Homo-oligomer: A and B are copies of this chain.
Amino acid sequence: MDIGALLTSAGINIAICVVLLSLYSILRKQPSNVSVYFMRRLISEPIKHSDPFRFERLVPSASWIVRAWQATNEEILAAGGVDALVFLRIVVFSIRVFIIAAMICVFLLLPVNYYGQEMQHKQIHSESLEVFTIGNVKEGSKWFWTHCLALYVISCSACVLLHFEYKNITKMRLAHITGSPVNPSHFTVLVRSIPCSQNHSYSKSVEDFFSTYYPASYVSHQMVYRAGRVDKLMKDAEKMYRMLKTIESTTKKSYMPCCLCGKSTHSFEALNNDAESVEIKTSSDELQPSQREKKLKISEQKDVEKIYRKLKTIETQNKMSSTPGCLCGGIMHYFKMLKKEAESVECKTSSDRSQPSQTDKERPAAFVFFRTRYAAIVAAQVLQSSNPMLWVTQLAPEPNDVYWSNLSIPYKQVWLRKIATLLGAFVFMFVFLAPVTFVQGLTQLDQLRQTFPFLKGILKQKFMNQLVTGYLPSVILMLFMYAVPPTMMLFSTIEGNVSHSERKKSAGIKVLYFTIWNVFFVNVLSGSIIRQLSVFSSFRDIPTQLAKAVPTQATFFTTYVLTSGWASLSCEVIQLFPLLCNGFRRFILRRQEEPCSNHALTFPHHTEIPRLLLFGLLGFTCSIMAPLILPFLLVYFFLAFLVYRNQILNVYVPKYESGGQFWPVVHNTTIFSLVLTQVIALGVFGIKRSPVASGFTIPLIFLTLLFNEYCRQRFSPVFKRSPAQYRFL
């Protein structure tokens, strides 16, 4: 591929981006799309709907870019929580480190590579891209110290920036833990694997256990119940009936109640403040039990009254307690939250529901409420029983975060499920090799001509040639990649995670491994070796093989950044699928009301973080070998910065908050990318017979690993356990 083909590819992609972004800026002005592009605002602020038609609505504008650029950290925090802020730090880190890399690589390495050996240079337009890679520098050249220097500068600046980010994010997380409003889930522990007793119920077991071992801090508990199969069938039938009814009569019937319950997330703070003033009558009325689709049964009225009386007694007893008043209200509030969450899932006015059948079985899981936040942390961290597979405790997820259907999975299955899904994901990773190998074949035209002789005519045209080599492979790969996150999400669901955030994190890690393996390694190593399936047959040859393969594959990666990177951002901002759904709902189903908040999307960390990290990996590994990738990558990250800020401010609704839990994964992946870069550089210096450069690279690898170990010691425990210093907050 030459500069011309690259520019063709860039041209196509720039055009697509401009078209899509313009389209977005028009679409977002249409009132009918407000639920697609302004879902978060729709929920938190009233938006005027009586916009008269104006001509401006059809003119593309860049106002959203300005607004996204100008938003402050406080606004982001308010809109998307700590997770959003931490996510944007990944983008900022990437921009910073790749600006440094681009400076040194473009101004120092590019000339060195270009004039690396004595040759007749063609016109710049038809110059092969390989002339700009390290492959063009002749063996034993004295100029390899520039590459080594660049490697040092990039590694050091990456480590310094990583340390800076880790430190700040740890601070942010701690501030979130202490500064967030008192959340009843802080006082709650989720207990699983309650041992079965012949004499009494699970509920009695829980009460006995915790009142024996935590007499001072145990308050109460709430069992998890399982809905019967008949219940579920009836629920489905009812849902169908409601749906059909709605379609028939396009009235605005259910608008208000829907949005009321949708507000649960945002009315949180307000409710919390006046939680004390909640009357017993009201709350027990509100807690009228009703069977939930999500297999949760809120405890019956008697239970609630019992708990309330208990809480009242405790409250009057310890007026001097560290969380006075707040606790009782808090736990009543937790009940309400649980109820509202379950309601909002169904999104309907509960009124004529039947009493739950008394045959419903308790599951061996329960939420246990404690008197203080510290007691809950301790109960969650300490080993409860001499059999570590019984009485398994963890801090309860936020009410919105609980993944109800997994609560009833027996804990003894969880480790088996984890292994099974791991194997499943592994197999999936290798089955996926088929499309990737096919894509790889497309970049090698000669092979393609041999396999499909009828294509010869088409491929002779220069433009088609450039299109096929420069564009098609990435598009095909991208389409295949869209199937991956849902599959990994399915695996993570089967795994038995009890909260949405855990599930998303676990899926994200799987997607990350998948992406790095299938996009980076398979593409790098496929060219020559994949057919013999002996990719990793030898240990010591890995650096050499990578060193041979990466510079030649740099072209593919550059086009991958152009197509997959830029296009994915345009797709992200235009929200194609929700847009189509919205259109279908409005113009086919003729439903005019706004969808309720639980149709709102949460930020898809599990797809976006792996994508950013993949581009980071490509940037690091190619920076020294083929610096031409860096400008394109920088454009990607700048665009990502704007797009994600816009999306966080306008589209995604934060239903739960993990407090930047995913940062250690990001950190480790970045370190992995750095070390991989250094190993590849080591291999290249070896092939090019530059012992000095090789010699200087080895300590760099060692130092990078040492830095990683330091960060692991210094910061990562805070992401696993809550420090006790914060117990009074």
By a beta-carbon cutoff of 8 Å, the part of chain A in contact with chain B is: 170, 174, 213, 377-378, 381-389, 415, 419, 534, 536-540, 706, 709-710, 713-718, 721-727
> A383 contacts which chain B residues (CB < 8 A)?
717-718, 721-724
Nearest Cβ on chain B to A496's Cβ, whole angstroms = 13
Choose among B540, B716, B725 the residue that contacts A213 (Cβ–Cβ < 8 A).
Answer: B725
When the two chains form their complex, are residues A385 and B723 in contact, meaning their CB atoms are under 8 A apart?
A: yes
When the two chains form their complex, are residues A415 and B725 in contact, meaning their CB atoms are under 8 A apart?
A: no
Nearest Cβ on chain B to A387's Cβ, whole angstroms = 7
CA distance A387 to B385 in the complex (A): 29
> A713 contacts which chain B residues (CB < 8 A)?
388-389, 415
CA distance A717 to B387 in the complex (A): 9
Nearest Cβ on chain B to A106's Cβ, whole angstroms = 37
CA distance A727 to B386 in the complex (A): 11
> A170 contacts which chain B residues (CB < 8 A)?
386
When the two chains form their complex, are residues B384 and A709 in contact, meaning their CB atoms are under 8 A apart?
A: no
Known: A381-B381, A536-B539, A537-B538. A388 touches B717 (CB 8 A): yes
CA distance A536 to B541 in the complex (A): 12
When the two chains form their complex, are residues A388 and B727 in contact, meaning their CB atoms are under 8 A apart?
A: no
Protomer copies = 2
CA distance A727 to B389 in the complex (A): 19
Nearest Cβ on chain B to A216's Cβ, whole angstroms = 9
> A381 contacts which chain B residues (CB < 8 A)?
381-382
> What are 5 pairs between A and B in contact, CB < 8 Å?
A213-B727, A383-B724, A387-B714, A415-B713, A538-B539
When the two chains form their complex, are residues B384 and A725 in contact, meaning their CB atoms are under 8 A apart?
A: yes
When the two chains form their complex, are residues A386 and B723 in contact, meaning their CB atoms are under 8 A apart?
A: yes
When the two chains form their complex, are residues A174 and B386 in contact, meaning their CB atoms are under 8 A apart?
A: yes
CA distance A716 to B124 in the complex (A): 65
Q: Which residue from chain B places its CB closest to the CB of A717 in the assembled complex?
A: B388
When the two chains form their complex, are residues B377 and A382 in contact, meaning their CB atoms are under 8 A apart?
A: yes
> A534 contacts which chain B residues (CB < 8 A)?
540
Known: A415-B710, A709-B419, A710-B415. A385 touches B725 (CB 8 A): yes
Q: Which residue from chain B places its CB closest to the CB of A722 in the assembled complex?
A: B383
CA distance A722 to B726 in the complex (A): 24
When the two chains form their complex, are residues A539 and B537 in contact, meaning their CB atoms are under 8 A apart?
A: yes
Q: Which residue from chain B places its CB closest to the CB of A710 in the assembled complex?
A: B415
> A721 contacts which chain B residues (CB < 8 A)?
382-383
Q: Which residue from chain B places its CB closest to the CB of A216 in the assembled complex?
A: B216
> A386 contacts which chain B residues (CB < 8 A)?
170, 174, 718, 723, 725-726
> A714 contacts which chain B residues (CB < 8 A)?
387-389
Q: Which residue from chain B places its CB closest to the CB of A414 in the assembled complex?
A: B713
> A725 contacts which chain B residues (CB < 8 A)?
213, 384-386
Known: A383-B724, A724-B384. A709 touches B213 (CB 8 A): no
When the two chains form their complex, are residues B382 and A724 in contact, meaning their CB atoms are under 8 A apart?
A: yes
